[in-house]
Amino acid sequence: MELWMKIGSAILLVTMLVIIFPQAKRMMKESPKGSASDWTSALIPIGLVAVFIIFLIMVV
């Protein structure tokens, strides 16, 4: 990647961090706590996504 592209990408990412941060702070503060079963119900489908990606990698 050319240097100016690297600097441009870095500027874009820093801007994104600056803009997202206040919203992120609010989300962290307002987010309700999940129970163990809540997390299980979320982690199972995400685990299946991981398995699916491994399958795709094996197929390609």
Partner 1 sequence: MATPELVRTRPIEATFATNKLIRNTYTLLSMTLIFSALMAGVSVMLRMPPMTYLLALGGAFVLMWFVLPRTANSAKGLGVVFGITGLLGFSLGPMLAMYLSLPNGPQLVGMAFAGTGVIFLGLSGYALLSRKDFSFMGGFLITGFLVVLMAALANIFLAIPALSLAISSAVIFIMSGFILYDTSRMIHGGQTNYIIATVGLYLNIFNIFVHLLHILGVMGGDD
CB of 27 to partner 1, least distance (A): 5
Q: Minimum Å distance from CB 31 to partner 1?
A: 3
Alpha helices in 1-60, H assignment, sequence order: 3-30, 36-59
**Residues lying near partner 1 in the complex (CB under 8 A):** 1, 5-6, 8-10, 12-17, 19-21, 23-24, 27-34, 38-39, 41-42, 45-46, 48-50, 52-53, 56-57, 59-60
Residue 19: CA count within 13 A, CB half-sphere = 6
Q: How many whole angstroms separate alpha carbon 22 and alpha carbon 44?
A: 30
Please, what is the minimum distance in Å from the beta carbon of residue 14 to partner 1? 7
